[in-house]
Amino acid sequence: MIAAIIISAVTFVLSGALHYAIVSGALRRLGEANYHRGCKLVFALGVSGLAHLSVTVLYALAYGLGRILKIGDLSGDTLMTAMDIFYFSLVTYTSLGLGDIVPTGHLRLIAGIEALNGFLLISCSAAMLFLFMSDNNREPAS
């Protein structure tokens, strides 16, 4: 249980830092650019998506580490591949929880933390995009 708590805590902190670094850095640079608002929005959405995919990769690595440490596993119809673990991470991060792959043992804690983290970071992205576009609303549309 201690290993799951440590893995969850480290992954939670690293994912927040990674998300912030990617999104805020891109939005800061994009704010200085002289592009049309629509182009800025599309780029900002793409960067936000990239940040979220990066975080799901980080959580997939955490599940892989948990499996190596034998604190739990992911049960499904087939033998788990790296793509299956990434898929499970993505489904968990977005809180879809389809149920075709299920965590067992202490990996359930990591999955719960990932769902919470996904909700928080997706909300942060939405707020940052709203503020970014609100600030860019002051410029005339071209």
What does the block give as tokens for 3? 């290993």
Question: Domain segments of the chain: what residues?
Answer: 2-136
For residue 115, which of 98, 134, 91 has the smallest C-alpha distance? 91
pLDDT means per 10 residues in the chain (142 residues)?
96 96 88 82 91 97 96 85 95 91 96 96 91 69 48
Beta strand residue intervals within the chain, DSSP E? 72-75, 102-105
CB 61 within 8 A of CB 88: no
User: 50-90: per-residue pLDDT in tens?
Assistant: 999 999 999 999 999 999 999 999 987 678 899 999 999 99
* Separation of alpha carbons 142 and 107, rounded Å: 50
Fold of 2-136: Helix Hairpins (1.10.287)
Q: Model pTM?
A: 0.88
